[in-house]
A and B are shown apart, each in its own frame.
Chain A
Amino acid sequence: MTAASDTQSAVQPAYRRRDLTGIAVILGIAAIGYFLFPNNLALLTRILAIALLVLSLDLVTGFCGVATLGHAALFGAGAYAAGMAAAHWGITDPIAMVVVGAIGGAAAGLLSGVIILRGHGLSQLVLSIAVIHLFHEAANKASAYTGGSDGLAGISPDPLFGLFAFDLWGRTAYGFGVALLVIVFVLLRILVRSPFGMLCRGIREDPVRVGAMGGSVRGTLVKMYVISGAVAGVGGALNAISTQVVGLDSLSFTTSAEALVMLVLGGTGSLYGALLGTAVFMWFEDVVSAANPFHWLTMVGALLIAVVLFAPRGLFGTAALLLDRLKERRR
Chain B
Amino acid sequence: MSPVFQVERLRKSFGGLAVTQDVSIAMEPGDRVALIGPNGAGKTTFVNLVVGHLAPDSGKVMLAGSDVTGLDPVRRVRQGLVRSFQVTRLFSDMTPQEHVALAILQRTGRSGRVLGHFQAMPEVMDETRTLFETLGLVAVATRKVAEIAYGQQRLLEIAIALALKPKVLLLDEPAAGVPQSDTPRIEAALAGLPPDLAVLMIEHDMDLVFRFAKRVIVLAAGAVIFDGSPQDVTKNARVREVYLGNYANDRSAA
Q: Which residues of A contact B (CB under 8 A)?
A: 1, 3-5, 7-8, 11-12, 190-191, 193-199, 201-202, 205-206, 208-209, 211-216, 220, 223, 227
Contact = CB atoms under 8 A, between A and B. Distances in A.
A206 B91 contact: yes
Interface stretch (B98-106, B199-207, B236-244): B98-106
Contact of B111 (A8, A193, A215): A215
Given A194-B115, A214-B78, A215-B111, 6 more contacts: A1-B126, A195-B116, A201-B93, A205-B94, A208-B89, A214-B164
Nearest to B90: A209
A2 to B, nearest CB: 10
A4 B125 CA distance: 6
A195 B110 contact: yes
B89 A213 contact: no
The 7 A-B pairs at the shortest CB distance, nearest first, are namely: A4-B125, A214-B77, A205-B91, A209-B89, A195-B113, A195-B105, A214-B78
A217 to B, nearest CB: 8
B125 A205 contact: no
Contact of B106 (A12, A190, A206, A215): A215
Interface string B106-132: 110011111111111010011001000
Contact of B117 (A12, A212, A223): A12
A4 B89 contact: no
Contacts of B89: 206, 208-209, 212
Interface of B: 51, 53, 73-74, 77-78, 82-83, 85, 89-94, 98, 101-103, 105-107, 110-120, 122, 125-126, 129, 160, 164
Contact of A209 (B91, B93, B114, B129): B91
Given A213-B102, A213-B164, A220 B120 contact: no
12 contacts: A1-B122, A1-B126, A8-B119, A12-B117, A12-B120, A196-B113, A196-B114, A198-B105, A205-B93, A208-B89, A209-B85, A211-B74
B78 A4 contact: no
B61 to A, nearest CB: 16
A4 B92 contact: no
B125 A7 contact: yes
Of B83, B110, B114, most buried by chain A (CB within 10 Å of CB) is: B114
Of A11, A202, A214, most buried by chain B (CB within 10 Å of CB) is: A214
B120 A8 contact: yes
Given A212-B83, A216-B74, A202 B102 contact: yes
Nearest to A217: B74
Given A213-B106, A214-B78, A194 B91 contact: no
A197 B101 CA distance: 13
B114 A212 contact: no
Of B77, B102, B129, most buried by chain A (CB within 10 Å of CB) is: B102
A191 B114 contact: yes
A202 B106 CA distance: 12
Given A4-B126, A212-B77, A214-B74, A199 B111 contact: yes
Contacts of B51: 212
A39 to B, nearest CB: 40
Contact of B77 (A7, A197, A211, A220): A211
Of A195, A198, A208, most buried by chain B (CB within 10 Å of CB) is: A195
A213 B103 contact: yes
A211 B91 CA distance: 13
A14 to B, nearest CB: 11
A211 B53 CA distance: 10
Of B82, B90, B111, most buried by chain A (CB within 10 Å of CB) is: B111
Given A212-B89, A213-B103, A198 B77 contact: no
Contacts of B82: 212
A214 B106 contact: yes
Of A1, A5, A8, A213, most buried by chain B (CB within 10 Å of CB) is: A213
Contacts of B119: 7-8, 11-12
Contacts of B78: 214
B94 A202 contact: yes
Contacts of B113: 194-196
Contact of A199 (B102, B117, B126): B102
A111 to B, nearest CB: 21
Nearest to B52: A211
Nearest to B115: A194
Contacts of B160: 213
A220 B94 contact: no
A196 B112 contact: yes
Contacts of A198: 94, 98, 101-102, 105, 111, 118
B93 to A, nearest CB: 6
Contacts of B93: 201, 205
Contacts of A212: 51, 73, 77, 82-83, 85, 89
A206 B87 CA distance: 13
Nearest to B75: A214
B129 A3 contact: yes
Nearest to A203: B91
B91 A202 contact: yes
